[in-house]
Amino acid sequence: MTPRFAPGVRLQEDKARDRWIVMAPERMFIPDEIALEVLRLVDGARDEAGIVTALAEKFAAPVEVIAADVRVMLDDLRDKGALRHD
């Protein structure tokens, strides 16, 4: 599965408040640190396994642990309407 941002949704830097924010039509929400790490890897090309591999390398953590976290995070973001899975 390859997650991608839903139409009209994107990650945007909020420089004035020193944070990143998910912008969506007429609403916005603030991702926590883990969600932000995942969202930065969502480019419409990288599939879920690719995201897990990248994060496991970055944080030198076991793939199984990261995979479980990423799955929860992607499901949550999809429920919020921010992501779609193809």
Residues of this chain, 7-26, that bind other proteins according to CB under 8 A: 7-8, 10, 12-17, 21, 23, 25-26
Residue with tokens 């390398």: 57
Residue 78 engages other proteins in binding (rule: CB under 8 A): no
Contact range with other proteins by CB under 8 A, out of 1-9, 33-41, 44-52, 60-68:
1-9
* Separation of alpha carbons 39 and 11, rounded Å: 8
Residues of this chain, 51-70, that bind other proteins according to CB under 8 A: none
- Output b/e per residue, 1-20; b: 16+ Cβ within 10 A: ebbebbeebebeeeeeeeeb
The distance of closest approach from Cβ of residue 64 to other proteins in the complex, given in angstroms and rounded to an integer, is 32
